[in-house]
Amino acid sequence: MALELSGKLIKKMSEVTGTGKNGTNWIKQEFVLETQDQYPKKVCMSVWGDKTQDLAPIQEGEIVKVQFNVESREYNERWYTEIRAYRLDRSGASAPAPAQDNAGWAPSAPAAAPASAAPANNFPPLAAESGDDLPF
C-alpha cells in the first residue's frame, strides 16, 4: 500500500540507532508534518536506514511531499502502527499561504459581480404578537 501526503515539516526528532538481533546496525529518524487542509492535522512519520540522509537537508518550515507505507505489528497482544516514509520531495522553500497556492492558473469562470439588491427573503411573514411564541 503506497500513500502520499504533503505538508509543512514542523519537527525533526533526533536520530535513533541500534543493533538488531542479527547483529546489523540500524538508524531511524522521526519527523512531524502538518497538513495544509482547512483543519490541519499533525502526522508523525519515520524514515529508516539511508533514507535518513534524504531528511537531513530539509529544514523545518519547508513544504514536503512524502510517499509512505503504513505498517502494523503485534507484540504481547498489542498492535503498534508506524508510518514509514520511503520518498521525500521538497515542494517549496517555505510554507506558502493557501490563497497564494494558485499561481500559474486562471479561474475557469469569471467572478460574479456583487448583487445590488438585498437577498430575497423566503420566510413567511411573522404573525401578530401572541402570547405563545413556541413553534411546537
127 backbone dihedrals φ, ψ, rounded to 5°: -75, 160
Q: What is the CATH number of domain 3-96?
A: 2.40.50.140
User: What are the pLDDT digits (tens) for 23-64?
Assistant: 999 999 999 999 999 999 999 999 999 999 998 899 999 999
**Confidence check: pLDDT of 122 > 80:** no
Q: Whole-angstrom Cα distance, residue 55 to residue 67?
A: 13
**Percent of the chain having pLDDT more than 70?**
67
Q: Whole-angstrom Cα distance, residue 54 to residue 124?
A: 64
User: What are the pLDDT digits (tens) for 88-107?
Assistant: 998 754 444 444 444 444 55
3-class DSSP state for residue 50?
Answer: helix
To the nearest whole number, what is the mean pLDDT of the chain? 80
